[in-house]
Amino acid sequence: MLPDIFGALANPARRTILDELRNGPRTAGDLTGLLEQSRSAASEHLAVLREAGLVREERRGRHRVYHLEAAGLAEVGGWLKHYEHYWNRRLDALGDLLDEENPT
């Protein structure tokens, strides 16, 4: 499942949608206006997020309302946690190198 989630997160427009949905459910029209893209482009982004399990669609009359499904993001966070130690070591080494070159 992770490759589908990473593919969904790779696009900046889809990350913008997820950021907006953190504030609560939004209609497809609201999200389309936010992206400043065509309705079909926004619909395609929402479909990718839905297939990745990151959003849920609810029909309310003529409107489609989208909700954030954060469980998939928790899965990504758990996978990335394994690499946190590696990056912290690398950043510490970089900090040490910069301190050596520019002592205060």
Please write the tens of the pLDDT for every residue from 38-91.
999 999 999 999 999 999 999 999 999 999 998 888 888 888 888 888 888 888
* Domain ranges, ordered by start, for the chain: 2-101
The pLDDT of residue 77 is 86
The pLDDT of residue 21 is 97
The pLDDT of residue 104 is 67
Calculate the dihedral angle through the C-alpha atoms of 49, 14, 32, 51, rounding to the nearest 10 degrees.
Answer: -10
pTM of the model: 0.76
The pLDDT of residue 2 is 57
CATH ID of 2-101, from 3.40.605.10, 3.30.465.10, 3.30.70.3270, 1.10.10.10: 1.10.10.10
Neighbour order of strands in the sheet with 63-68: 26-27, 63-68, 55-60
